[in-house]
Every structure is written in C-alpha cells, then in structure tokens.
Amino acid sequence: MQLYHHPYSLDSQKVRLALEEKGIDYTSHHVNPITGKNLDSFFFRLNPTAKLPVFQNGSHVIYDAIEIIQYVERIAEKASSGGNDSGVSNQEVVQWMHKIQAWDPKYFTLFHIPVKHRLRVSKFLRRVIIARMAECPDLATSYHNKLREAYDTDEKLGNDDVVRRNEEHLIKILDEVEAKLSETAYLAGDEFTLADVMLIPILARLELLSLELEFINTRPNLAEYWAVVKQRPSYKKVIGRYFDGWKKKTTLMKTWWFVKLRSMFRKY
C-alpha cells in the first residue's frame, strides 16, 4: 500500500494517524504542496486535482480522507478478527468524522499566514503550474483548472464573508466538541476512536498558527483533551516530530527557503 501525503496537509495527517493507530504498514511518499511537488506530472496523473492525500492499494486508488480511513479500518479489523469486519466504527463515530471533515481548513489557514509568505507561495505555485503545463501539454486542461482554482482562492481570501463564515464553522464544531468532552473523555465516548483521529490535526493546525490561546485554551475540556492526545505515539510520529517546539521553525524554514530560492532564480 502506498500513501502520497505530506506533514503539512491536514487530511494527510488524519489518514496517517489512522494508519498508526491501527498499526497498518504502508510505503510513504512525501509530496510537499507548498513547494508544488503535487503539481509534478507523475502526481497529477495519479490525481488531476493535485490534492493530498492519495492512497493506492494495487489498482485501487482512493482520494477522499474518510474513505481512506474507513478502508484502513476494514483492513485492520479483518486482520485482527480473522476475516470478518464486524468491529468497524459505530454511528456516533462516523457522524463526528463527517461533521469534522465538513470544515474546510483552507481559508482559515491561509488567512492566518503572514501576507508576505502567502503572496510569495501563491505566486510561486502559479508559476509552477504554468511551467508544468508547458512540459506536459496532454495535461493542459487539468493544469488550467488548477490555475483557475488558485486565482479563485486568492479572490475568496479577499472576501471577508468567506473568511468569517469559515471561522464561524470552526467555532461551532469546537463548541460542540467542548460540550461533548464535558461528558466523556474522548469525542465519541470513553475510548479513543477515529473521531479523535479526525479532530487532532485541527487542534495541531490551531497550534501551528499560534492560535491555541484563542481557540483551545478558552475551552477547558478541550485544553485538557489536547494535552492528553498529544501524548499518544501516533501524534508524536505524525505531527509532533515535525511541529513540536523548535522543530516547527526548522520544518517551516526549509520549505520557505526552497520557495524563496526557486523564486529568486526563476527555477520552477
């Protein structure tokens, strides 16, 4: 099984946490969306939307995070129960998974990144798309769509309503989570489940953007939960080793310098 993913990608983190929690082995391929690796033709042929993650098991390719996680869950259940997959997530877990997945982190994240960095990356990625399009004319339509998407994102970011609604959606989810965590230790009961796997990357994103005081610490149950789930080996492997403490700076600087140098030398 192959997983194309990146530590920066929130949906990739969800899938990788599920793989770690379920103890499933896979071959890992890093595809950095900020340096435009996802726009390389090899990846574009695999997924013409260029989105991460992509999961491949033989000829079976899955693009949707929840579908991948549920597929992983079925494999794990089959392995542990000798062929029958009766132990998959209950309805409450699945409902939380969909509720959390309905929030699109794109505008919120971009809005909270310093404008200088956002503009440089966005310009760089548009140049990369144009360069790849020239190299692979047979993929021109998909690259055109990607370019249109990039302009559309920039335009929507200038629209206060879009950004505000995106944040309100997040707040609504966090408030529901806070209420639930006053009754149970984890999101769907007193056991850790795949619902928690979906939530952890969102909390990690808030911390990465230095927004934990406003969004996590103001919710005492959530703050306590966050401290507990960060102790899990899956969190440390998938997120902590790239973003905890000083590592955050090193991880981000590497990508930033890549983009800066490539832009300077016009090497797309």
Ligand X SMILES: N[C@@H](CCC(=O)N[C@@H](CS)C(=O)NCC(=O)O)C(=O)O
**Residues engaged in binding ligand X (CB under 6 A):** 9-11, 33, 38, 50-52, 63-65
Q: Closest separation between CB of residue 82 and ligand X, Å?
A: 31
147 closest CA partner among 132, 131, 126: 126
Q: Closest separation between CB of residue 45 and ligand X, Å?
A: 15
- In sequence order, the β-bridge partners of residue 189 are 186
Which lies closer to ligand X via its Cβ, residue 181 or residue 195?
A: 195
Which lies closer to ligand X via its Cβ, residue 11 or residue 196?
A: 11
Q: How far is CA 254 from CA 231, 232, 246, in A?
A: 26, 26, 13
Q: Hey, what are 182's tokens?
A: 């006053």
Which lies closer to ligand X via its Cβ, residue 157 or residue 185?
A: 157
Q: Closest separation between CB of residue 146 and ligand X, Å?
A: 7
Q: Closest separation between CB of residue 98 and ligand X, Å?
A: 11
Which lies closer to ligand X via its Cβ, residue 89 or residue 142?
A: 142
Which lies closer to ligand X via its Cβ, residue 126 or residue 189?
A: 126
- One DSSP character per residue, 154-182 reads HHHHT-HHHHHHHHHHHHHHHHHHHHHHT
Q: Closest separation between CB of residue 121 and ligand X, Å?
A: 11
Distance, CA of 89 to CA of 127 (rounded, Å): 43
CB-based contacts of 101, cutoff 8 Å, min separation 6:
65, 66, 198
Q: Closest separation between CB of residue 210 and ligand X, Å?
A: 19
Q: Closest separation between CB of residue 83 and ligand X, Å?
A: 29
- Within 39-159, where are the H helices? 41-46, 65-81, 91-101, 105-111, 115-135, 140-157
8 A C-beta contact, residue 222 and residue 177 = yes
Which lies closer to ligand X via its Cβ, residue 122 or residue 263?
A: 122
Which lies closer to ligand X via its Cβ, residue 9 or residue 219?
A: 9
Q: Closest separation between CB of residue 184 and ligand X, Å?
A: 27
Which lies closer to ligand X via its Cβ, residue 36 or residue 196?
A: 36
Distance, CA of 65 to CA of 4 (rounded, Å): 12
Task: Beginning with the edge strand found earlier in the chain, give each strand of the sheet holding 60-62 in spatial order.
Answer: 27-30, 2-5, 54-57, 60-62
Residue 93 one-letter amino acid: V
DSSP 189: B
